[in-house]
Structure 1
Amino acid sequence: MAAAPRERSPFLGLLPLPERTAVVQALRTETVGGLVLLAAALVALVWVNTPWGSTYEQIRDFHFGIPALGLDLSVGHWTADGLLTIFFLVAGIELKRELVVGELRTPATAALPVVAAVCGMIVPAALYAVTAAAGGGSLDGWAVPMATDIAFALAVLAVISTHLPAALRAFLLTLAVVDDLGGILVIAIFFTSDLNFAALGGSFAGLVVFHALQRFRVRGWWWYVPLGVAIWALMYNGGVHATVAGVAMGLILRTTRDKDEPASPGERTSHVLHPISAGVAVPLFALFAAGVGVSATALGEVFTQPEPLGVVLGLVLGKTLGIFVGTYLAARYTRAQLNPDLAWADVFALAVLAGIGFTVALLIGELAFSDPSTTEHVKAAVLIGSLIAAALAAILVKRRNGIYRRLSEEEERDDDHDGIPDIYQRSGAAER
């Protein structure tokens, strides 16, 4: 007797309640932070294009620190190498959570978002390379259009007042988490300066101690904060971009609770640092990274020079094609089946939305080019490409917003006021 075919699992269907709760909490902070990020970018653009633009440059280039420890950095570098480490620490915790209890915990559930995200990194990089090579430009910026900025994407959704159901938001979050991992690997492998192996050895030794403290359940911020700062400083002096230290510590932090713990160390750290990351660290980085001169000539060069044009095409076309085609192929050849309440148009809209690359894209743009003029053009291209992607995504998402509102309201309804959405108390609801 032939075995019965295995049931296909729903893609973008109802999330398990614990996963839904974690996603909602994470994205609430990201949405607020995204609005602050958007405001910071606008301030930078306006500031640098006023008669007081020289003041912006003076503040950004002002140096301070401890020269004896190799930490005499400009304000711009402190935000990129220092504050942004907090962002990558939170990203590392989120990645660890996804790997342990989230969408990436099993190969079956991880396959689709991972394939989509990887295709969403490869296609933009390839499109940039083809564009740059065809125009005789530099291939150094191939990694710039690879990254999705989840905070900026959610800020766009907040501005246009959409009601995305939790599954769509979780898919976008998982894409961004894998994107962040790809960006971190690219920074660590391709954008390292001359290596100081003694400093790197000290940084890795610090990570070993950090892991031991976690393993033996040592508690108290006074252990971890000085150790974390030392790991970061040694990583910076070792020649590897200091943000890698943040994600390494995030991956080490334990995200599962012991029986006597109300929250895991990863949860507690994320709870404390997430608002700082989203509300302070990333906006300050944007403030000192997004300040580019805007003129008719500069805008024209974005679309005529091969490097910035490759970035725009990579973000707007490459991201969309990579994520949508990757998602379709993964769903076509795995057991995943699209939620019948949604359509492939919804996946396409999210793919377009993922073309908003800001924080990591600007960081890689600064690292990739040594010529200040090219760097400014590439940063302008990141802003323009993200703006185009945001506008197109807003149109697409708005057209489907009535369906999203109905699904979201159904997910949120709690007529018995017991704190658990009614949809999770019906027979046949997702496993809790």
Structure 2
Amino acid sequence: MTAPARAPVAEFARFLRTETVGGFFLLAAAGVALVWANTPLRAGYEALREVTVGPSALHLNLTLQQWATDGLLAVFFFVAGLELKRELVIGELAGARRAVLPVAAAVGGMAVPVLVALLVGGDLPGMEAAWSIPAATDIAFALAVLAVAGAGLPSSARVFLLSLAVVDDLGAVLLIAVLFAGNLHVLALLAAALLCGVYWVLQRKRVTSPLVYVPIAVGTWVAVHEAGIHATVAGVALALLTRVRPDPGEQEGPALRLEHRLQPWSAALCAPLFAFVAAGVPLGLPALQTMITDRVALAVIAGLLVGKVVGIFGAASLVVWLTPAVRPRGLGWRDLAAVSMLGGVGFTVSLLITELSLASVGPRAVESAKAAVLLSSIAAAVLAAALLVRRSRIHGRSRAVAPDDDSGVETTPSES
């Protein structure tokens, strides 16, 4: 009698696990925020984001925007990290030949945009730190666009983008910590490391009770936050410490079990609310006029729209040609080029770096660079979506996969 009662809930959770559904939720929330922030009702949106919630102890009296960026996004990163860990151990990225490609692509996707930005921006005021703005890829928005526009591509496309975006975002967080962090609290950092160690030991001891893990996860997040490091690092760290392989008698390992339970919450609540508080960037006429003549803003645009795709695709090509690394299974070079275009969706982390790097220059420079980030991210998303739709149709017309070549790479018939 209990099974039918649980069926609708389980079916709804399965519906939310569909990547396309989560992508629509996130993009819709971002659209609502963007429209609201550019209407006469903008003050209400700004006031809502600045509502303060939480205890004052441990500096947790945060605004709703901070809770979404540091808290909800940590859950999203935890789910993404679980999927990445599973792919590294038993999935598409198992083995160094496959894992090295997204890492190299992420490094190229950070280094080349920085070089492009420096070439365009030169030694202008603010560029001493603003060069780091186009280094970041927004994992949530990039995955959402891929889910909506690239549903017909092989699943390895998502794995590739997820992997490089996680590495990219960790690199961006490291840049923030090095360039803009205030005082690094060593004791809090040691506490976070200790809690991660306890989590790892409990995983190896096959402890399964959430009554044990939930306090450890919350404590790790608080410790990382107190240490002065972006709190989403806690989600990635715990995910990478989670056991993947099931024991004899287990139907699934802890990583897959947690992923199934948390992914609906991440898709329906965490990612959309984060998008809602992050996407409300005003695109006023003064900001747009300044952006056209501001070389710092132009450097950001060049870095995101040109540097990202060149860096990601170029690094991936070089690694495949010069090392034993192989392309993701079932993906051709044109597929990789389309996915690489998604790297230009900088958005949230880029907006955060913009505020930190240009605060000393003035509010006008900040607004101009923010407009550049937003417009570049939208342009990259639209271009990538067009390419992904075309590639999806090609894959849809021809699902037959050519036999593996001597490199172990499966190629699509259109590029074999």
Q: Secondary structure at the match of 2:229?
A: coil
Partner in structure 1 of residue 305 of structure 2: 316
Q: 1:92 to 1:169 in 2, by over 3 A?
A: closer
Q: Secondary structure at the match of 2:344?
A: coil
> Aligned partners of 2:209, 2:392: CA distance in 1, in Å?
46
State the AA in 1 paired with 2:138: D
State the AA in 1 paired with 2:285: A
> Aligned partners of 1:193, 1:397: CA distance in 2, in Å?
41
Q: Kindly report which structure 2 residues correspond to 1:108-127, keeping only aligned pairs within 5 A, or say none.
A: 108-127=97-116
Q: Secondary structure at the match of 1:354?
A: helix
> Aligned partners of 2:177, 2:291: CA distance in 1, in Å?
28
Q: 1:262-321, CA deviations, whole angstroms, 9 ceiling, x for partnerless residues?
A: 222221222222222233222222222221211232123233323332222111100111
Partner in structure 1 of residue 174 of structure 2: 185
Q: Kindly report which structure 2 residues correspond to 1:271-350, keeping only aligned pairs within 5 A, or say none.
A: 271-335=260-324, 344-350=333-339
Q: Name structure 1 gaps, 5 residues minimum.
A: 1-24, 412-422
> Aligned partners of 1:240, 1:154: CA distance in 2, in Å?
24
Q: 1:104 to 1:163 in 2, by over 3 A?
A: closer
One of 238, 241, 256 as aligned partner of 1:267: 256
> Aligned partners of 2:243, 2:358: CA distance in 1, in Å?
37
**Which is further off, 359-368 or 113-122?**
359-368
One of 154, 164, 178 as aligned partner of 1:165: 154
Q: 1:96 to 1:269 in 2, by over 3 A?
A: same
One of 371, 374, 384 as aligned partner of 1:380: 371
> Aligned partners of 2:245, 2:353: CA distance in 1, in Å?
32
Q: Kindly report which structure 2 residues correspond to 1:359-378, keeping only aligned pairs within 5 A, or say none.
A: 359-370=348-359, 372-378=363-369
CA contact under 8 A between 1:282 and 1:359: conserved in structure 2? no
**Which is further off, 329-338 or 303-312?**
329-338
> Aligned partners of 2:214, 2:110: CA distance in 1, in Å?
33
CA contact under 8 A between 1:91 and 1:180: conserved in structure 2? no
CA contact under 8 A between 1:80 and 1:363: conserved in structure 2? no
> Aligned partners of 1:272, 1:203: CA distance in 2, in Å?
24
One of 212, 215, 218 as aligned partner of 1:226: 215
> Aligned partners of 2:101, 2:322: CA distance in 1, in Å?
10
How far residue 31 of structure 1 moved from its aligned partner, in angstroms, is 3.2
The answer to whether structure 1 residue 202 and structure 2 residue 191 are counterparts is yes
How far residue 154 of structure 1 moved from its aligned partner, in angstroms, is 4.4
How far residue 229 of structure 1 moved from its aligned partner, in angstroms, is 1.1
Q: 1:256 to 1:194 in 2, by over 3 A?
A: same
State the AA in 1 paired with 2:257: R
Q: Name structure 2 gaps, 5 residues minimum.
A: 1-13, 411-416
Q: TM-score, normalised by structure 1?
A: 0.80
State the AA in 2 paired with 1:390: A
| Larger fraction in helix | 2
Q: 1:294 to 1:198 in 2, by over 3 A?
A: same
One of 231, 235, 257 as aligned partner of 1:246: 235
Q: Kindly report which structure 2 residues correspond to 1:47-58, keeping only aligned pairs within 5 A, or say none.
A: 47-58=36-47
> Aligned partners of 2:16, 2:337: CA distance in 1, in Å?
21
User: What is the Cα-based RMSD across aligned positions, in Å?
Assistant: 3.1
CA contact under 8 A between 1:320 and 1:348: conserved in structure 2? yes
Q: Secondary structure at the match of 2:53?
A: strand
> Aligned partners of 2:196, 2:49: CA distance in 1, in Å?
31
Partner in structure 2 of residue 403 of structure 1: 394
How far residue 59 of structure 1 moved from its aligned partner, in angstroms, is 1.3
How far residue 119 of structure 1 moved from its aligned partner, in angstroms, is 0.9
CA contact under 8 A between 1:148 and 1:355: conserved in structure 2? yes
Partner in structure 1 of residue 413 of structure 2: none
How far residue 26 of structure 1 moved from its aligned partner, in angstroms, is 13
Q: 1:323-363, CA deviations, whole angstroms, 9 ceiling, x for partnerless residues?
A: 22112212222346779987533332222233222343334
Q: How many equivalent residue pairs?
A: 391
Partner in structure 1 of residue 380 of structure 2: 389
Q: 1:203-222, CA deviations, whole angstroms, 9 ceiling, x for partnerless residues?
A: 22222222222121111111
> Aligned partners of 2:202, 2:344: CA distance in 1, in Å?
39
State the AA in 2 paired with 1:274: Q
One of 143, 164, 186 as aligned partner of 1:175: 164
Q: Calculate percent identity across the aligned residue pairs.
A: 47
Q: 1:34-86, CA deviations, whole angstroms, 9 ceiling, x for partnerless residues?
A: 22221121111111122211111111112221113321111111111221111
Q: Secondary structure at the match of 2:386?
A: helix
> Aligned partners of 1:388, 1:214: CA distance in 2, in Å?
43
